C-alpha cells in the first residue's frame, strides 16, 4: 500500500527514536517496585518487542455464541466477535439496548481479578463516540483505546498488542466518525495551540488520498490506520496470519448512530 511509506516518513524523527523505549525502559521506572503483576507485564513487553506471541496465547474454542449469551469471559471466533459488535450497534440504533439490563454487580465481581474482552476498538477521543454504548456492550466486553483522530502510535500498538496477545481479543475495529475535529484540522492545516498539530502527520496521508472532503478523508484515515496496525505490529500480523484475529476499519455516523464497516 503506497500510503504506508508516506505515513512513516512523515512522522517526526524524534518520535521514531523514542518509540522503542516503550519496550525497553526499566519497569520500575513506570510501574513501581517489582511484583508478580509487574513481572508478568515485563514478560509481555519483552515478548512483544521480540515479535513473538508464543507462550502468551491459550487455545480457545471457535464456536459461535449467540449474542444474548455473550459474557465478559466468552470465547468467539474473529468473525463471530465482529458480528457481535455489529449486532450490538444494530440494537443501539433501534433503541433495543440490553447491556443495561445485565447484572452489573455480577459483571464487576467476575471481572475484578481479570479481563477477557472479546473485541478491541481504537476510536477517536471525541465525546460523541461512547464506544461501549454504540455497540451495546457492558463491563469487560470491549478493550477500548482512544486518541484524537484514532491514529496508530507506538503506545496504541502496545496497548492493542496486549489486548490481543494477553487478553485474547478476537477483533480490532479502527473506527473513524462523522465530523471528526482532528481530521478537519488536518485538512485546514491552520496554526493551532500547543501540540495539537502533532496529530497532522498521522492523518495527512488520508487527506492526500481523499482530498478535502471530510467524510472521505475520515474513512480513508480509518482504513490507513487499520492497515498500518496490521503491518507495523508483528504481534498483530502474526495473529491475523494464523486466523486468530481480524483487524477492520469502520465509520460511525454521529447523527444516525450507525457503524459501517469499510473493509
Q: How does the average pLDDT of the chain come out, rounded?
A: 78
| Residues 182 and 199 sit within 8 Å (Cβ to Cβ) | yes
Higher-confidence position of 182 and 98: 182
DSSP helix/strand/coil, 92: helix
Residue 181: its H or E element: helix 181-188
Q: Are the CB atoms for 217 and 238 separated by under 8 Å?
A: no
Threshold 0.75, pTM exceeds: no
The angle formed by the CA atoms of residues 242, 84 and 123, to the nearest 5 degrees, is 80
Q: Set out the domains of the chain in order of their start, with CATH numbers.
A: 3-261 (3.40.1050.10)
pLDDT band at 31 (very low <50, low <70, confident <90, very high): very low
The confidence score (pLDDT) of residue 116 equals: 85
DSSP state for residue 254 in the 8-state scheme: T
Is 50 exceeded by the pLDDT of residue 18? no
Q: Which residues pair with 122 in a beta bridge?
A: 145, 174
Kindly state the average pLDDT of the residues 107-127.
Answer: 88
Confidence grade of residue 102 (pLDDT, cut at 50, 70, 90): confident
User: Residue 177: CB partners within 8 Å, gap ≥ 6?
Assistant: 123, 124, 126, 128, 129, 218, 251, 252, 253, 254
Kindly report, residue by residue over 37-53, the tens digit of the pLDDT. 444 444 433 444 444 33
- CA 29/CA 21 separation, integer angstroms: 12
* Helix extents (H) in 19-128: 21-24, 27-31, 36-49, 78-93, 104-111
> In the 8-state DSSP scheme, what is residue 217?
H
> Residue 254: is its pLDDT beyond 80?
yes
What is residue 69's predicted lDDT score, i.e. its pLDDT? 38
Q: What percent of the chain has pLDDT over 90?
A: 62
pLDDT tens digit sequence for 141-184: 999 999 999 999 999 999 999 999 999 999 999 999 999 999 99
Grid cell in block for residue 49: 518487542
Report the pLDDT value the prediction gives residue 90, as an integer from 0 to 100: 95
Dihedral, 150, 154, 158, 160 alpha carbons, nearest 10: 20
Q: State the pLDDT at residue 113.
A: 80
Task: Flag the least confident range among 62-71, 160-169, 182-191, 236-245.
Answer: 62-71
Amino acid at each position: 500500500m503506497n500510503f504506508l511509506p508516506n505515513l512513516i516518513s512523515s512522522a517526526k524523527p524524534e518520535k521514531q527514536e523514542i518509540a522503542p523505549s516503550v519496550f525497553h525502559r526499566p519497569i520500575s521506572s513506570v510501574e513501581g517496585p517489582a511484583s508478580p503483576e509487574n513481572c508478568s507485564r515485563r514478560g509481555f513487553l519483552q515478548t512483544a518487542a521480540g515479535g513473538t506471541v508464543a507462550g502468551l496465547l491459550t487455545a480457545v474454542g471457535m464456536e459461535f455464541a449467540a449474542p444474548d449469551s455473550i459474557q465478559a469471559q466468552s470465547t468467539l471466533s474473529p468473525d463471530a466477535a465482529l458480528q457481535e459488535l455489529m449486532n450490538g450497534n444494530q440494537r443501539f440504533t433501534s433503541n433495543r439496548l440490553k447491556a443495561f439490563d445485565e447484572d452489573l454487580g455480577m459483571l464487576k465481581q467476575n471481572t475484578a481479578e481479570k479481563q477477557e474482552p472479546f473485541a478491541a476498538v481504537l476510536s477517536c477521543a471525541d465525546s460523541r463516540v461512547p464506544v461501549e454504548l454504540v455497540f451495546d456492550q457492558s463491563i469487560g466486553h470491549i478493550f477500548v483505546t482512544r486518541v484524537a483522530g484514532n491514529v496508530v502510535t507506538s503506545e496504541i500498538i502496545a496497548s492493542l498488542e496486549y489486548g490481543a496477545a494477553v487478553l485474547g481479543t478476537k477483533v480490532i475495529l479502527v473506527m473513524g466518525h462523522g465530523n471528526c475535529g482532528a481530521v478537519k484540522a488536518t485538512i485546514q492545516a491552520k496554526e493551532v495551540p500547543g501540540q495539537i498539530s502533532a496529530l497532522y502527520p498521522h492523518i495527512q496521508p488520508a487527506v492526500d488520498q481523499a482530498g478535502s472532503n471530510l467524510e472521505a478523508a475520515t474513512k480513508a484515515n480509518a482504513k490507513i490506520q487499520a492497515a498500518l496496525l496490521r503491518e507495523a505490529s508483528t504481534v498483530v500480523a502474526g495473529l491475523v496470519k494464523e486466523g486468530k484475529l481480524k483487524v477492520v476499519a469502520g465509520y460511525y455516523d454521529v447523527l444516525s448512530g450507525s457503524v459501517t464497516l469499510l473493509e
